[in-house]
A and B are shown apart, each in its own frame.
Chain A
Amino acid sequence: MDQFAVKVFVRLRPSVLDPAGEATKSASIKLGAEGIKSLRIGKMIEVKIEGNGENEVRGKIDLLCDRLFANTVIEDYEYSLEKL
Chain B
Amino acid sequence: MDDFTVGVVVFPGSNCDRDVSWALEGCLDIRTKYLWHESSDLSDVDAIVLPGGFSYGDYLRCGAIARFSPLINALDEFVKSGKRVLGICNGFQILTESGFLPGALVANKNLNFICDDVELDIVSSKGGWFNNVDEKQTIKLPIAHGEGRYHCDSDTLKKLVDNELIALRYKNNPNGSSFDIAGITNEKGNVLGLMPHPERACDETIGGTDGLFTLKSLILK
* A residues at B contact (CB < 8 Å): 12, 15-17, 19-20, 23, 68-69, 71, 73-74
Q: Is B219 an interface residue (CB 8 A)?
A: no
Once the chains bind, are B110 and A73 in contact (CB under 8 Å)? no
Residue in chain A with minimal CB distance to B68: A68
Once the chains bind, are B109 and A19 in contact (CB under 8 Å)? yes
* B residues at A contact (CB < 8 Å): 60-61, 64, 68, 96-97, 102-104, 106-111, 149, 151-153, 176
Identify whether the interface residues of B are mostly helix, strand, loop, or mixed. loop
Contacts of B110 in A (CB 8 A): 19
Contacts of B106 in A (CB 8 A): 12, 16-17, 74
**Nearest-Cβ distance from residue B215 to partner chain A, whole angstroms:** 28
A-B contacts, 13 listed (Cβ < 8 Å): A12-B106, A15-B153, A16-B106, A19-B110, A19-B176, A20-B107, A20-B111, A23-B111, A68-B64, A68-B68, A69-B60, A73-B151, A74-B104
Q: In the complex, A68 Cα to B149 Cα: how many Å?
A: 20
Contacts of B152 in A (CB 8 A): 73
Contacts of B111 in A (CB 8 A): 19-20, 23
Contacts of A15 in B (CB 8 A): 153
Contacts of B104 in A (CB 8 A): 71, 73-74
